[in-house]
Structure 1
Amino acid sequence: MSDPRLVARRLPDGPGVYRFRDPDGRVLYIGRAGNLRRRVQSYWGRLGDRPRLVAMVRRIASVEATWCDSEHEAAWLERNLLQRSRPRWNRIEGGSEVVGLIRLDPSRIAGLRFVHEADGPGRHFGPYLGGLRVRQAISAVHRVLPLPYAVATGGSSREFAVLFGVGPADREALVATAVAVLEREPSAVSATRSKLVRRRDRATAELRFEFAAKIQEEIAALDWITAEQKATTLDRSDEEVCGWADGVLVRYDVRAGRMCTWTRRLASERSARDRVLATPVRWEAFARRNAELAARLLNGEGS
């Protein structure tokens, strides 16, 4: 059996979920990281002031990891796995972030709104983790696309509409752009982000540092909600995601739109072929990458 400290060195420096097992194969702990290699290696650093963690590290016999496409995806996968089964060393069942959606109702003055469930009129996007982040992302989109003011109203709303240079005739185009951003269309996301960066930089040049910091938080929130995230969706589909590499089969089960189980085992290419071929196209790159990672961790490549 490979030394888990050496296995940690083979992990990618990208986001993902890691899992520790004891000598009997039981899962000790599930965690997530923005940088898998750095986070997992840290368990073998200085832990003198954390006796509970020291006790767990002594029992780690193997390390497993899933390499995700974003930190948001890793957060969702960790949450789903912990809600399905909570290992002994995990204190909580599935994450503490608030779950939310973004609702777009073209007929409402409010434009985009944060909601907890898709139980009202309009179109919904998400789900997302982190109530504050979602609200900051909404603020970011409204800063570039002032939907609340592209309406036929009077008073202060009309004054702001004049200030932003928008009116009822612009609402359809603004809605279309907002939808493109929330659907993660690369050009729309890039254009919106670039406008926010310019406003942040202008505020910095004008020594408006608090305002610049606020926009930077909005940029980070926009990045969070527009990064690729497949681990939890609104379509409530059931899927089996499988990848194979160098004698190792990895499998993830998606139930009601949530990726909730993750296994790996030794398997011949022939026995794995049908499952791999049945994997939905949108999951193929993810499954292949994680099969290659599982094989590298098990077989010692790069150690």
Structure 2
Amino acid sequence: MGSVPRSVVGRLPAGPGVYRFRDARGRVLYIGRATALRHRVGSYWGDLAGRRHLRRMVPQIARIEAVACDSVHEAAWLERNLLERSKPRWNRVAGGAEELMCIRLEHRAGVPHLGAVHWDGVVPADDDVTFGPYLGGTRTRLAVSALDRVLPLWATDERLGGFRRDLARVRGVEAADRDRFLSTAVAVLRRQVAAVEAVRGQLAELRDRAAAGLVFELAGRIQSELEAVDWVTAEQKVTRLAPLDDGEVHGWADGLLVGFRVHGGRLCEWTQRACRLPAARPYLDRTPAAWTAFATRTAELGRHLAEAHTA
């Protein structure tokens, strides 16, 4: 594995996260995200199919750093935030290619509707009806489609006519269902576990019914919607609609101080350096309690990897 001990990769978590490669002079070579950190990072010393442009980078890697995230969606946001602030030499783009999206609740003639809308990075004035932000236009639209499938707010409109009225009647939906559908949809978008699991269960039942009826195209569509619901409801705290207070977040573990800067509602600018506890204490004391577990976990992982580098 070149100058990087194989044991370093073995100490990476199996779950999602962001990784960073440095050269022998400490310069950042590359930042990436992973669904499975250990597998993804280890792949750089394999075939690199589809990533051949990185072959010349691999022999330069002298150090691996990583942040474990609570979801793939969170890892995607953290990678984007870091790359928008600073693009290393071997990264091709600053930021990411995914669309920045929100889901917005609107009322049309008194009937609520959910829609996927682009997010411009500005905090909405009415954040009680705007949910997100999310990465990926396709995923966000599929999540809205999933909610429409099992919580058809449109069908509660008393003014429906023709085919749509007949369809609502066949589905057994009435205007009286409106409040229940709306409260469930909002609970899902607020990541309330019971509501999310209920909607996932309904989607899985519809998917399995379609597959049993050999309607495989519909079954595939519903499976994509289910995965999109998982995407938008996964824990994601590194980019918020509601503004985070600008400042710094720090964690310490056995001589290693890890820091992130919070700017404009985003967690970004990841740093790591050797630091004794007395010198680290002022930074730790200023870290908001909500970030302590995340920062400490990152510092512990950093220390774990650093030990493997020196072993």
Please give the TM-score of this superposition, normalised by the length of structure 2.
Answer: 0.91
- The alignment-based identity, stated in percent, is 53
* Rounded Cα–Cα distance in structure 1 between residues aligned with 2:130 and 2:50: 45
Matched, 1:40 2:50: no
Residue pair 1:101, 1:116 contacting (<8 A) in 2 also: yes
Aligned residues: 302
1:155-166 correspondence to structure 2 within 5 Å: 155=161, 156-166=163-173
Query: Alpha carbon RMSD of aligned pairs, Å?
Result: 2.2
Aligned-partner SS, 1:13: coil
Residue pair 1:114, 1:134 contacting (<8 A) in 2 also: yes
* Rounded Cα–Cα distance in structure 2 between residues aligned with 1:218 and 1:281: 35
* Rounded Cα–Cα distance in structure 1 between residues aligned with 2:309 and 2:50: 34
Residue pair 2:8, 2:309 contacting (<8 A) in 1 also: no
Letter in 2 for 1:295: R
Aligned to 1:88: 89
Aligned to 2:205: 198
Aligned to 1:17: 18
Deviation at 1:48, TM superposition (A): 8.4
* Rounded Cα–Cα distance in structure 2 between residues aligned with 1:256 and 1:120: 15
Residue pair 2:5, 2:308 contacting (<8 A) in 1 also: no
Matched, 1:113 2:110: no
Letter in 2 for 1:78: E
Residue pair 1:4, 1:61 contacting (<8 A) in 2 also: no
Deviation at 1:164, TM superposition (A): 2.4
* Rounded Cα–Cα distance in structure 2 between residues aligned with 1:76 and 1:282: 18
Residue pair 1:235, 1:256 contacting (<8 A) in 2 also: no
Deviation at 1:280, TM superposition (A): 2.5
* Rounded Cα–Cα distance in structure 2 between residues aligned with 1:177 and 1:50: 43
Higher mean Cα deviation, 239-248 or 63-72? 239-248
Aligned to 2:253: 245
Aligned-partner SS, 2:55: helix
* Rounded Cα–Cα distance in structure 1 between residues aligned with 2:82 and 2:309: 27
* Rounded Cα–Cα distance in structure 2 between residues aligned with 1:38 and 1:28: 19
Segments of structure 1 that go 5 or more residues without pairing to the other structure are none
Matched, 1:152 2:154: no
Distance 1:163-1:48 versus aligned 2 partners, 3 A rule: closer
Please give the TM-score of this superposition, normalised by the length of structure 1.
Answer: 0.93
1:42-191 correspondence to structure 2 within 5 Å: 42-47=43-48, 52-107=53-108, 109=111, 111-117=113-119, 123-155=129-161, 156-191=163-198
Residue pair 1:296, 1:302 contacting (<8 A) in 2 also: no
Distance 1:267-1:112 versus aligned 2 partners, 3 A rule: same
* Rounded Cα–Cα distance in structure 2 between residues aligned with 1:66 and 1:262: 9
Higher mean Cα deviation, 240-249 or 124-133? 240-249
Question: Which residue among 210, 226, 245 is the counterpart of 2:233?
Answer: 226
Segments of structure 2 that go 5 or more residues without pairing to the other structure are none
